[in-house]
Amino acid sequence: MLINTMEYAALVGLVGIIRLRMRYDRIISWLMFLFFAFLLFDYVHQALFEKNVGFSFLWNKSSLGDILISFNPDISLNRVVIPLFFLSAVTVLNNNIFRFEEKRSIFNSFIILNFIAQSLLFGAENCVQLITSVFVSDILGYLVLKDVDSSHRYVVYNFFADMCLFMVLALACGKLQSLELAQFPLYNEIGHHKDFVAFMITMALFAKMGAALFQSYLLDISKARFQRMSAVNLLFAPLSALLLFLKLYGLLQISDLFMPLFQIESLLTFAVGITGFVIKGHIRKKMVYLNMAFLGLMLQMLQAEGFVWTPLFSCYFITVYFVNLLFFKIYLYQNREDNVDKMINAKEINSLPLKAVFAQFILLSAISFILAWNISIAGKHIAVMAESCLIFITISLILSQIYKSPHSRRLDYLALNRLRLLSFLFNTFIFVLAANVLKAGDIKALVFALIFCLIAVSPFPNRLRLFYAKNALQGEDLSKSLFFYAFVAPLMYLSRTLWLAVDFVFSEKIVTAAITAVKRWAVSLFFKINPKGYISSLLFIALGLLCFAAVFYIRIKP
Nearest to 181 by CA among 238, 244, 262, 135: 244
Of the residues 20, 34, 167, 446, which one makes contact with other proteins according to CB under 8 A: 167
- Specify the residue, 147 or 305, whose C-beta has the smaller distance to other proteins: 147
The reply on whether position 174 binds other proteins by CB under 8 A is: yes
Contact, 364 vs 323, CB < 8 A? yes
SS3 state at 147: coil
Tell me how far apart the alpha carbons of residues 351 and 267 are, in angstroms, rounded to a whole number: 37
Nearest to 265 by CA among 171, 348, 198: 198
- Specify the residue, 127 or 252, whose C-beta has the smaller distance to other proteins: 127
The reply on whether position 132 binds other proteins by CB under 8 A is: yes
Of the residues 72, 339, 481, 516, which one makes contact with other proteins according to CB under 8 A: 516
- Of 152-160, 228-236, 258-266, 433-441: span binding other proteins (CB under 8 A): 152-160
The reply on whether position 146 binds other proteins by CB under 8 A is: no
**Residue 511 CB, nearest distance to other proteins (Å)?**
6
Contact, 238 vs 296, CB < 8 A? no
The reply on whether position 471 binds other proteins by CB under 8 A is: no
Nearest to 206 by CA among 245, 167, 171: 245
- Specify the residue, 31 or 155, whose C-beta has the smaller distance to other proteins: 155
- For residues 87-126, which are near other proteins according to CB under 8 A? none
Let me know the angle formed at the C-alpha of 163 by 295 and 484, rounded to the nearest 5 degrees: 70
- Of 92-100, 134-142, 286-294, 297-305: span binding other proteins (CB under 8 A): 134-142
The reply on whether position 186 binds other proteins by CB under 8 A is: no
**Residue 367 CB, nearest distance to other proteins (Å)?**
38
What is the DSSP annotation of 207-238?
Answer: HHHT-TTSTHHHHHHTTS-HHHHHHHHHHSHH
**Residue 392 CB, nearest distance to other proteins (Å)?**
38
**Residue 386 CB, nearest distance to other proteins (Å)?**
40
Tell me how far apart the alpha carbons of residues 286 and 396 are, in angstroms, rounded to a whole number: 13
- Specify the residue, 136 or 292, whose C-beta has the smaller distance to other proteins: 136
For 35, other C-beta atoms within 10 Å of its C-beta total 16
- Specify the residue, 170 or 377, whose C-beta has the smaller distance to other proteins: 170
The reply on whether position 307 binds other proteins by CB under 8 A is: no
- Specify the residue, 128 or 323, whose C-beta has the smaller distance to other proteins: 128
Tell me how far apart the alpha carbons of residues 112 and 321 are, in angstroms, rounded to a whole number: 16
**Residue 167 CB, nearest distance to other proteins (Å)?**
4
Please name the amino acid found at residue 531.
P
The reply on whether position 64 binds other proteins by CB under 8 A is: yes
Tell me how far apart the alpha carbons of residues 117 and 96 are, in angstroms, rounded to a whole number: 22
**257 secondary structure, DSSP code:** T
Tell me how far apart the alpha carbons of residues 368 and 384 are, in angstroms, rounded to a whole number: 11
The reply on whether position 127 binds other proteins by CB under 8 A is: yes
Phi, psi of 70 (to 5 degrees): -130, 150
- Of 22-30, 56-64, 366-374, 526-534: span binding other proteins (CB under 8 A): 56-64
Contact, 313 vs 305, CB < 8 A? yes
List interacting residues with other proteins (CB under 8 A). 59-60, 62-64, 67, 127-128, 131-132, 135-136, 139, 148-149, 152, 155-156, 159-160, 162-163, 166-167, 169-171, 173-175, 177, 192-193, 491-492, 494-496, 498-499, 502-503, 506-508, 511-512, 515-516, 519
